[in-house]
Amino acid sequence: MGHYQPLLPDLILAMGATFILLLGPLRDSQNLRDFLRWISLGLVAATAATLVWVNHGMATPYPLVGEGWLTTAPLHTAFAVVFLATIAWTILASTVPDEDAGEWYSMLLFLGTGMIILARAANLAAVFLGLEVLSISLYILIAFRYSKRSSLRGGIMYLLLAGFASGFLLFGMALIYAVFGTLQIAEIRTLALATDMGPMAKVGFGLLLVGVGFKLAAVPFHMWTPEVYESSPGTVTGLIASSSKGAMLAAFIPFLFLLETHWSIIWLFAALSMVGGNLLGLREIRVKRILAYSSIAHIGYVLTGYLAGDTLSANAAFLPSITGVNAVFFYVVAYAASILGAFAALGYIQGERDLTLRDLRGVGRRNPVLAFCLLIFVWSLAGLPPAVGFFGKIYLFSAAINAGYFWLPLIGLLGSAIGIYYYLRIIVHLFMMPADASDPKVHASTLQEWVMLGSAVAVIALGLFPETIFSFLRAF
């Protein structure tokens, strides 16, 4: 048993999810829904606590049947805790469907399980396992309002395209295994750095990058985002944009050695995403799609930081103490804090059809608290001070400049300048346009309003004290 003890966090979450799935169909009542909500929260908290406790003092990768399965590196544990926090936030902020509450919470917990496995994966099989657990939960969550055609359509689109991408990923992994004879990422790293990489290995990693690029929605694998974001429930969209991508990023960090051979591909991903994402959103009027396109651009910014790697440059000019990887961590946290709130707020406003900018008119008067929170989230996404998004961008770009990349931050800055346009359009419609004949409908409970307000305060507070995020990272 002691052999399996390190897997305790994943087990707690997965078994708890199964338990809730079984508990759900018992009886449908408000009490049960509340009970499920709190027990889910409890499970997430227990998982996070166990994760920290189990990892404490453990230096080697989790052994499982002779192979290193999950890594115990502090950065990855920190990532996992952040992702669990986003799950907990979603449990609090989402509007529970009247039926299927059990399935809802259970899927959220399975999603969390996938994320923490993926974020800590130490070998290729674990990457794939985590990714699939995460993706299958997402298919269901995206299509959760299954009585609506558009919702089902989004789920199926994601299922098809993600399946396609998984094919690329698996084939890439197979090629890598064929070349290196191991699934352990650390061993692959040593071998890859020691020898000159042949074409087969290069293609293998290239196909792996296709899979990663799809999950991150980097241009040119971004096509699915607008439809899927549009059709998912608001809080789920937030999770897709924040922690689901974040988990993939975390899993991608052990592959930093690819910068030696594949940096041009990642450079292209970053540049195309920053330009494409911002261009795509320019004339969009459906708000969730605007944020979907913006999320493409944000992945571009993150990949810019990723290119800076995890070493400190000796002749760094800006903020020399922050490595690219730390900046990526910061940005994942900052972006999650902003985008989760933004999509959740849009979820509360959403009516029957797709939410357009026009529907936002009058929200500033009707529900000033919510509108103000949305303003802060969008402000942060636009990267304006003093919100946390501003510092996130600064760290990413300065890390990239320190690592010798000049054009990429410049492209990023120009892209952001274009992006400000559509972010400001959201704010203008929220506050400065006269409402149409009917007032917009906003459904947000008191708890939800408090959660939103808390997030908005956090976005500003983290912007005022950005060091907090780094101290959190150092605590692991």
Partner 1 sequence: MFYNNGLPALWLIPALPALGALIIFIFASRMPARAAGIIACSAISLSFLWVLNVGTTLVLGNHHHFVEHHWNWIAAGPFQGSASFYFDLVTFAFTFVVAGVGLLIHLYSYSYMKGDAGERRYFGYFNLFAAAMLVLVTAENAFFMFLGWEGVGACSFFLIGHWYQKSENTVAATKAFLVTRLGDIFLLIGLFLTATLVGVSFSQQSAWTQVATSSFIPGFGGLTGPQLILITGICFLLGAAGKSAQVPLQVWLPDAMAGPTPVSALIHAATMVTAGVYLIARFHILFALSPNLMLAVAIVGVLTAFYGATSAFVQTDIKRILAYSTISQIGYMFLGLGVGAWSLAVFHFFTHAFYKALLFMAAGTVIHSLHNEQNIYNMGGLRTKLKGTYLAFLAGAASLAGIPFITAGFYSKDAILWNTLSTKWGSPVIYGIAMLTALMTAIYSFRLIFVVFHGTPRKDIHVHLPDRLLTWPLYILAFFAIVAGFLNLPIVFGVTPIWEHSFARVFGEWQAEPLIHSHAVEWMALLGSGVLALGGAGIAWLLYSPAKAPMPEPAGDIATVENNTPAPYKAVWANFLFHGWKMDGFYNKTFVRGFRITSGVIAWIDRVFVDGIFEAIQAIVRGFHALVIFFQNGRVSRYAMVMLFGAVAIITILLIGSQR
Closer to partner 1 by CB, 24 or 277: give it: 277
Is residue 165 within the footprint of partner 1 (CB under 8 A)?
yes
Q: What is the rounded distance in angstroms from the CA atom of residue 192 to the CA atom of residue 174? A: 15
In angstroms, give the least distance from the CB of 156 to partner 1: 8
Which region among 109-117, 242-250, 257-265, 452-460 touches partner 1 (by CB under 8 A)? 257-265
Closer to partner 1 by CB, 48 or 176: give it: 176
Q: Of 348, 359, 355, which is closest to residue 288 (Cα–Cα)?
A: 355
Is the alpha carbon torsion for 242, 299, 209, 171 positive or negative? Answer: positive
Which region among 46-54, 73-81, 224-232, 341-349 touches partner 1 (by CB under 8 A)? 224-232
Q: Of 298, 331, 341, which is closest to residue 90 (Cα–Cα)?
A: 341
Q: What is the rounded distance in angstroms from the CA atom of residue 77 to the CA atom of residue 55? A: 8
Q: What is the rounded distance in angstroms from the CA atom of residue 46 to the CA atom of residue 88? A: 11
Task: Figure out which of the listed residues 7, 265, 312, 458 binds partner 1, where binding follows CB under 8 A.
Answer: 265
Closer to partner 1 by CB, 147 or 264: give it: 264
In angstroms, give the least distance from the CB of 425 to partner 1: 14
In angstroms, give the least distance from the CB of 347 to partner 1: 21
Q: How many residues does the chain have?
A: 476
Is residue 203 within the footprint of partner 1 (CB under 8 A)?
yes
Closer to partner 1 by CB, 2 or 199: give it: 199
Residues 2, 14: contact at Cβ < 8 Å? no
Q: For residues 455-474, which are near partner 1 according to CB under 8 A?
A: none
Closer to partner 1 by CB, 90 or 273: give it: 273
Task: Figure out which of the listed residues 24, 276, 309, 440 binds partner 1, where binding follows CB under 8 A.
Answer: 276
Is residue 170 within the footprint of partner 1 (CB under 8 A)?
no
Which region among 106-114, 272-280, 328-336, 337-345 touches partner 1 (by CB under 8 A)? 272-280
Number of residues interacting with partner 1: please give it, by CB under 8 A.
36
Is residue 424 within the footprint of partner 1 (CB under 8 A)?
no
Task: Figure out which of the listed residues 7, 177, 187, 202 binds partner 1, where binding follows CB under 8 A.
Answer: 202
Task: Figure out which of the listed residues 283, 385, 428, 457 binds partner 1, where binding follows CB under 8 A.
Answer: 283
Closer to partner 1 by CB, 10 or 284: give it: 284
Closer to partner 1 by CB, 206 or 454: give it: 206
Closer to partner 1 by CB, 267 or 450: give it: 267
Task: Figure out which of the listed residues 14, 209, 212, 249 binds partner 1, where binding follows CB under 8 A.
Answer: 209
Closer to partner 1 by CB, 258 or 325: give it: 258
Which region among 93-101, 258-266, 429-437, 462-470 touches partner 1 (by CB under 8 A)? 258-266
Task: Figure out which of the listed residues 125, 259, 279, 435 binds partner 1, where binding follows CB under 8 A.
Answer: 279
Which region among 82-90, 112-120, 261-269, 364-372 touches partner 1 (by CB under 8 A)? 261-269
Q: For residues 102-161, which are near partner 1 according to CB under 8 A?
A: 156-157, 160-161
In angstroms, give the least distance from the CB of 290 to partner 1: 12
Closer to partner 1 by CB, 31 or 264: give it: 264
Q: What is the rounded distance in angstroms from the CA atom of residue 35 to the CA atom of residue 287? A: 34
Task: Figure out which of the listed residues 69, 79, 144, 168 binds partner 1, where binding follows CB under 8 A.
Answer: 168
Q: Of 210, 5, 254, which is closest to residue 120 (Cα–Cα)?
A: 254
Q: Which two tokens stand for residue 240?
A: 């897709």
Is residue 264 within the footprint of partner 1 (CB under 8 A)?
yes
Residues 347, 233: contact at Cβ < 8 Å? yes
Closer to partner 1 by CB, 23 or 197: give it: 197
Place of tokens 């770009």: 397
In angstroms, give the least distance from the CB of 207 to partner 1: 7
Site residues (vs partner 1, CB under 8 A)? 156-157, 160-161, 164-165, 168, 197-199, 202-203, 205-207, 209-210, 213-214, 220-221, 223-224, 226-227, 262, 264-265, 268, 275-276, 279-280, 282-283, 418
